[in-house]
Amino acid sequence: MQKQRQFLSELLLVGFGGGIGGSLRYSLSLIPIIGHLPVITMGINWLGALLLAMLGAYLAKNSNRLTRWQPVIGTGIIGGFTTFSTMILQFNQLLRHDVFGAWLYILLTVCGGVVMVTIGQYIGRIIGEGTR
């Protein structure tokens, strides 16, 4: 019974976090489009990669601190904030009229995400070592 309660409370918190992340993403999507590439979606996914990597690296150093909140922050807020499906839909739309731009968008999104993960892990380790 205790495990069921814990699961349900965690599920509700993750859902609440997803609502926060989705609302933040929607708010940012209202910024006017810059050029023909979906820069806002790319930036959202880069920021999400940075934050998720920071959280993971921090938890690796301080597993007892935020572990309880990891599903809420990682799966809920950051997961609700980032958007793979929108990225793929935008890629498909770009592909119809600008093949080069579409592949540039995917390349920039993925490579930028890898760079952001690297930076996020570095920052998360530094923060994690400083809170010991």
Percent of the chain with pLDDT over 90: 67
Q: Please give the residue range of the domain that contains residue 105.
A: 2-130
The candidate with the shortest Cα–Cα distance to 83, out of 35, 34, 131, 29, is: 29
DSSP symbol at 76:
I
Instruction: Return the residue matching tokens 């890629």.
Output: 91
pTM for this prediction: 0.88
What sign has the CA pseudo-torsion 55, 60, 65, 70? positive
CB 56 within 8 A of CB 116: no
Average pLDDT over residues 42-47: 95
Which tens digits make up the pLDDT trace of 50-98? 999 999 999 888 877 677 788 999 999 999 999 999 999 999 999 999 9
> Is 33 a residue whose pLDDT tops 80?
no
Domain count, the chain: 1
Distance CA 4, CA 8 (A): 6
What pLDDT is recorded for position 96? Answer: 95
